[in-house]
Amino acid sequence: MISYLVDLGQLVAIFGLLAASLNLLVGYAGLFSVAHAVFFGLGAYTAAHLALAVSPDLLLGVLAAALLSGAASLVFALPALRVRGEYLVIASLGLQMLGSTVFTEAQGLTGGYGGLAGIPAPSLFGWTLESREALLAAALAILILAQFVINRLMRGSFGRSLMAIRDSESAAESLGKNVALIKTLAVALGSGLAGAAGALFAFQESFVNVESFTLDQSVLILAMVIIGGAGTLAGPLAGAALLLLLPAALSFIPHLPPTEIGAVQQLIYGLAMTLLMIFRPAGLLGRSEGGG
């Protein structure tokens, strides 16, 4: 039971980081994306290859994953500079479909549906993190560091400029803000953090394949942000915890067949989203007039 709770805690920390990274785009920049799982996957595959071929060093894997995902995010930044709203959602949907296809077909790099198995336990400063508790502590430390950096950035001039662009891009541009640069940096930072979460996920699972980086995963990450409260620091973490702990709680309900858990889970998700949009449109921890 303890091992199960530790594994669950790891997933909450990893997806908390992932939701926080998407919140940079959705909550602070106003850039809605359903392609975040692509950058999550890039980070996971990067860390997996490094661990299998070079070194299972945790910091090396996380940094390399963040850099590659951040660089690859320019593919998303280009349409983000030209379109907004539903057009950007459509562009991100196309990117998600492209990413899923590449992950599936590039079997020499990703292993396709067979994936990459046998990822060794990560090491940190020469120590192998063999216990699940040690990896949980490392994931929490990275999550706390990321939250600290996000909080500092959003309270500084970059964050104020980003939220000004979110509220009115034309007004921000008239005030002399470099809209293109600020949006590109936001996309790169959010995608880089998603890559870091992917690296942690690869080490946590010791296996990665394309099924973890589909459109369903991107929608789940977006739901975490919206349900928790976009544009807030703690909201995405609350959303991630809620949507990950719910399936675990359902598994303990007596007389509920395991095959029905998924259907019940989707029913609850849909009902929760509907009620939130009616009574708490800003999310559980969201502010009524936008975040800051």
* Contact in structure between 198 and 42 (CB atoms under 8 Å): yes
Q: Which amino acid is at 36?
A: H
Give the pLDDT confidence of 9-32 residue by residue, as tens digits. 999 999 999 999 999 999 999 999
Q: What is the pLDDT of residue 95?
A: 92
Closest CA to 26 of 201, 218, 213: 218
Which token pair is 20?
Answer: 């926080």
Q: What is the pLDDT of residue 289?
A: 47
> How far is it, in rounded angstroms, from Cα 27 to Cα 143?
18
Q: What is the pLDDT of residue 288?
A: 56
Whole-model pTM over 0.85:
yes
* Contact in structure between 146 and 16 (CB atoms under 8 Å): no
Closest CA to 95 of 165, 31, 46, 181: 31
Q: What is the pLDDT of residue 292?
A: 41
Beta bridge partners of 207: 117
Cβ burial 36-67 (10 Å sphere, 16+ → b, else e): bbbbbbbbbbbbbbbbeeeebbbebbbbbbbb
Give pLDDT < 70 ranges for the chain.
1, 262, 287-292
